[in-house]
Structure 1
Amino acid sequence: MTESGAQALFDKFGTYILPGRVDDPRRGIEEAQEAERIGLGAIWISERFALKEPAVLAGAVAEATNKIRINGTFYATMRHPLVTASIANMMQAMSDDRFGIMFARAVPAYMKMMGTPAITMERLADYISIYRRLWDGETVSYEGILGKFPTLKLTDLHEGRKPPIIFTAMGPKSLAFAGEHCDGVLLHPFVSPTGVANSTKIVRDAAEKAGRDPMSVRIYHNIIVAPDLPKDEEDAVVRGRAITYFELPGFGDLIVEINEWDKAVLDKVRAHPKIASLNGKPADQAYTREELVDVGQLLPQQWIDEGAAVGTASRCADQLMQYLAAGADEILLHGAAPKDMGPLTSELKRALGGKGL
């Protein structure tokens, strides 16, 4: 007999492996196995060049696990479209149809620094169209904003489920794009329950306007969790990481707008000497989370209470249920490692079972 809430936990909750900067990527395999052991249904892999290559990690995790879903983040303009389509095609074959591919826009200045085309929505729409046509077995001839590709084809096509395409979005235009073009949308960390409800409406309305089933677009929410952590570790996981989002021009502003929070706080954060001295360089490229805790103290407690899940495992579980009630279909737990989430998953099963889920 299945434990109460266990299936809902598997269906509705996943976690990042290897959050932040890493020096030993092999640890990600153990984290994925632990996530599966404690009942989570998905692992997510972000892209950070050098030691967090999502294609390699996804393949390793597929062989080390049995049923957990595997989502890999890619910067679309960094790879030839045939390469990206092939990775997803092969990952479905390797994992028994457990793979999902997510696209992120990245900070434009970061892409420019690498000499890579900006990830605009116009480019993404064309990439997505090419991927889907390739997965359908078509021979694709393309000339447009991405360049010229006379003949693209996946010679050996996996016949199983097509990889779902997820887009990470914050602002109204990005959310609407996801509703029009994607199978799912991942909301940004520190989006509050109010922000989830506001974002979900934008996505669903855009899908309907595009002639799609609004409920066919899955709403994923990325939430920083710090269950039962020591205070110094909690501050690094939550406040230190938060600064890496809020200090970014555009990114921080969009989060505050969608949550209906006070924008004046961002001016204080960006005026802090550690941030002001960066001259546009992202904070997470210059500092560790621990080194940003002092800047994080500028954030109002309300932002932490509404935008993250902090405190006892029981309190975190109750907070996470609020995001589901606001419209999230699935939650990505971020911040704490899977080895620290056992008590949280037990509390989540309690809360989910209590709702009859």
Structure 2
Amino acid sequence: MTVAVEPGAQALFDKFGTYILPGRVNDPRRGIDEAKEAERIGLGCVWISERYALKEPAVLAGAVAEATSKIRITGTMYATMRHPLVTASVADMMQAMSGERFRLMFARAVPAYMKMLGSPPITMERLADLISICRRLWAGEKVDYDGVLGKFPAINLTDRHGGTPPPIIFTAIGPKSLEFAGEHCDGVLLHPFVSAQGVKNSAKIVRDAAEKAGRDPMSVRIYHNIIVAPDLPKDEEEAVVGGRAITYFELPGFGDLIVDINGWDKKVLEQIRAHPKIAGLNGKPADQAYTRQELVDVSRLIPQQWLDEGAAVGTAAQCADQLMGFLDAGADEILLHGSSPKDMGPLTAELKRALGAKGL
């Protein structure tokens, strides 16, 4: 007997995922429940960020793999914080533990933050070498490396999964990082508050770079990270969208790249960075100093246009329709961010409606 599949359900699973444990947390076990809920409501992937507190991706990814059965799992790691053998081993073991549901994502982080931790900056050269080492180790090679990452005369995975290696995703904003993703990675995650036009611009840079490198441009998947606030009370919406936005826009370099790719007015960034709460940080990231709620007053400096074009806010139906625009612009998969899976049930129902209406 053939079981009927609800219209839009497969497309929802293929094209939408969510962060678990968004923001700062004090109970990491909540992430397991969020992953189970994400799978229950039909989302296809959970994403785990890296924070050196109660959000270690290697540990949480293993717990999620055991608690779920089909949802994909993407774990973020900072490239210079672990020995390459450890990074490759964690990803290989996660493929084995999860039934090949794991994806490895590398993030660059804010240079000042890496310096504060005493870790080398995450340069493109270091990333390229790490990606090469991981792939060679996954293929069963013994690696003799002497380069910018250090000296590793004989490293190999003595016991390995040996199946499909995990896809490597890179978070990127500016043209150089987007080109890097096209040349070296299996996918690229675009930054929150990149508009639909920004997605289109970014996808072109990635795929042109892949083609120039002799790769199939369509083999590099475009993932987009979008802050969503469906049917939230006003105060919570301001924290989820506006408060979080400030943690991106206040960062020198990061905020500028988002504004550049969207064609927005950079003078707004000057006003944000001049706010007493931000000016007093002296380079420390705002999300290390404040909660999202504590940044709401700063967020009122952000033009409404930026929030309308860069996020999905309003009723669940309005959010779903806004998200379709990002798929139309070239995103292969969307990472829903800011809201918890427990608040996304109505949104996923509306997403199935919108996807079904598009024949997906």
TM class, shorter-length:
over 0.9
**SS of aligned partner of 1:333:** strand
**SS of aligned partner of 1:77:** coil
Q: For the residues of structure 2 that align with 1:161 and 1:67, how far apart are their CA atoms?
A: 16
Structural mapping, 1:26-45, within 5 Å: 26-45=29-48
Structure 1 residue aligned with 2:168 = 165
1:58-111 CA-partner distances (Å, limit 9, x unpaired): 000000000000000000100000000000000000000000000000000000
Task: Please state how far the C-alpha of 1:50 moved relative to its aligned partner.
Answer: 1.7
2:96 is the alignment partner of 1:96: no
Paired residue for 2:287, among 268, 284, 287? 284
Paired residue for 2:216, among 205, 213, 216? 213
Q: For the residues of structure 2 that align with 1:140 and 1:260, how far apart are their CA atoms?
A: 44
Q: For the residues of structure 2 that align with 1:39 and 1:144, how far apart are their CA atoms?
A: 44
**SS of aligned partner of 1:23:** coil
RMSD value, Cα: 0.4
Structural mapping, 1:16-35, within 5 Å: 16-35=19-38
Q: For the residues of structure 2 that align with 1:289 and 1:205, how far apart are their CA atoms?
A: 37
Letter in 1 for 2:12: L
2:74 is the alignment partner of 1:71: yes
Q: For the residues of structure 1 that align with 2:230 and 2:186, how far apart are their CA atoms?
A: 30
Identity of matched residues, %: 82
**SS of aligned partner of 1:240:** helix
2:181 is the alignment partner of 1:175: no
2:275 is the alignment partner of 1:272: yes
Q: For the residues of structure 1 that align with 2:289 and 2:87, how far apart are their CA atoms?
A: 30
Would you say the 8 A contact 2:95–2:102 is kept in 1? Answer: yes
1:254-301 CA-partner distances (Å, limit 9, x unpaired): 000001111111011011111111111111111100000000011000
Letter in 1 for 2:16: F
Paired residue for 2:332, among 300, 304, 329? 329
Q: For the residues of structure 1 that align with 2:214 and 2:155, how far apart are their CA atoms?
A: 28
Residues matched between the structures, number: 357
Q: For the residues of structure 1 that align with 2:265 and 2:75, how far apart are their CA atoms?
A: 33
What is the TM-score of this pair, normalised by structure 2?
0.99
Paired residue for 2:188, among 185, 192, 206? 185
Paired residue for 1:120, among 116, 120, 123? 123
Q: For the residues of structure 2 that align with 1:43 and 1:245, how far apart are their CA atoms?
A: 21
Task: Please state how far the C-alpha of 1:47 moved relative to its aligned partner.
Answer: 0.3
2:259 is the alignment partner of 1:256: yes
Q: For the residues of structure 2 that align with 1:273 and 1:90, how far apart are their CA atoms?
A: 46
Q: For the residues of structure 1 that align with 2:359 and 2:96, how far apart are their CA atoms?
A: 35
Q: For the residues of structure 1 that align with 2:220 and 2:331, how far apart are their CA atoms?
A: 11
Q: For the residues of structure 1 that align with 2:48 and 2:204, how far apart are their CA atoms?
A: 27
Structural mapping, 1:337-352, within 5 Å: 337-352=340-355
Q: For the residues of structure 1 that align with 2:162 and 2:5, how far apart are their CA atoms?
A: 31
Q: For the residues of structure 2 that align with 1:294 and 1:157, how far apart are their CA atoms?
A: 51
What is the TM-score of this pair, normalised by structure 1?
1.00
Q: For the residues of structure 1 that align with 2:159 and 2:283, how far apart are their CA atoms?
A: 44
Q: For the residues of structure 1 that align with 2:85 and 2:281, how far apart are their CA atoms?
A: 37
Q: For the residues of structure 2 that align with 1:50 and 1:275, how far apart are their CA atoms?
A: 23
**SS of aligned partner of 1:36:** helix
Task: Please state how far the C-alpha of 1:159 moved relative to its aligned partner.
Answer: 2.1
**SS of aligned partner of 1:101:** strand
